[in-house]
Amino acid sequence: MLKPSTGETLADLREEIDRIDQAMHRLLMERGEIIDRLIHVKGKQGGGSAFRPSREADMMRRLVERHQGLLPLDTVETIWRIIISTFTFVQSNYVVHADVSGGDAVMRDCCRFHFGFTVPFHPHPDVASVIAAVKASKGDLGLVRVEAGPSAGPWWAELAAADAPKIIARLPFVERPDHPAGLPLFVVATPPAEATARDVVILSVTFDRWQDDLPGRLAEQNIEILDKSETDGRVSLMLAASRQDGATAQNDAIDERLRKALHEHGIDAQSVEIGSHAARFDLALGRCEAAQ
């Protein structure tokens, strides 16, 4: 941080602020010019999804690690989220479909914090409607609560089919107790062909007979129960399998870890991968949550 000069005047400082504002605007316009060239190159190569969850997570991670000074992290995070989301929208228009069954205001606030006002926001009465809208689209996103509530039932089972949308991100990326848009959300989309973040893999699991000590057994394998539903004697779980012993999740023998935890209970389960996301950055710890 620069030390203040004893001879500075208010006019001098305002001139400096104006210079910085103009430079930031020029850089944003320059970024837009590069995006325009990127669209042209992608068009020659056959296009493809503009979403890159892994790259976005890496950008946000570096942003948090280098941030310092008086400007609140909330402000920096939302500015960068809006820049990323808006330039993605410029490359390929998309809509954010959101489940507002738990309240329109909080979901709308979260959407605007993470995606800004340029990207259209479409509210839906339930999770199923969001997933159906995303599936019928050519590249839209869906926002659903990580815990959608009992009335939603095992909504994650709708993501199990091979042609169904999948979870590609979890928001907010920066974990902190006072986050202004801290509602835990999954981003659902047709997964991009490349650059999918896989620090945490999400699974849909169904079996008979719930056992109360199962959460502890799963936790020993770095597997967390995110949600649970029981219907007609069948148990449906949504699980998050994080990296183990420093390995990356995609090479972490997730199926073997899951079978080990369930086998000890005599459970014969069916499991399907329904998506993945980057490890969130825990501000209190100063590192990503899945890093051991």
b vs e for 118-137, b when ≥16 Cβ sit within 10 Å of the residue's Cβ? ebebebbebbebbbbbbbeb
Arch. (CATH architecture) of 200-277: 2-Layer Sandwich (3.30)
Residue/partner pairs of 30-35 with CB below 8 Å, 24 or more apart: 31/83, 31/87, 32/87, 32/90, 35/87, 35/90, 35/91
Nearest to 172 by CA among 28, 39, 76: 76
The C-alpha R_g of the chain, in whole angstroms, comes to 21
Alpha-carbon span 204 to 171, nearest angstrom: 20
Residue 276: beta bridge partners? 201
The rounded distance, in Å, linking the Cα atoms of 40 and 205 is: 43
d(CA 120, CA 140): 10
- Predicted confidence at residue 291, as pLDDT, reads 42
pTM for the complete prediction? Answer: 0.87
**Rounded CA separation 8/6 (Å):** 6
Nearest residue to 242 (alpha-carbon basis) of 220, 263, 261 = 220
Task: Please report the pLDDT score of residue 253 as a whole number.
Answer: 77
d(CA 16, CA 292): 43
pLDDT value at position 249? 44
Helix orientation angle between 73-91 and 53-66, rounded to the nearest 10 degrees: 150
Give pLDDT, residue 54.
86
pLDDT of the residue at 217? 87
Tens-level pLDDT at each residue, the chain (292 residues): 556 666 789 999 999 999 999 999 999 999 999 999 988 887 766 555 678 888 888 999 999 989 999 999 999 999 999 999 999 999 989 999 999 999 999 999 999 999 999 999 999 999 999 999 999 998 999 999 998 877 888 999 999 999 999 999 999 998 888 899 999 999 999 987 666 788 999 999 999 888 888 899 899 889 999 999 988 878 999 999 987 655 544 545 787 888 887 877 678 788 899 999 999 888 877 666 654 3
Strand partners, 227: 238
Domain coordinates in residue numbering, the chain: 49-197+278-286, 200-277
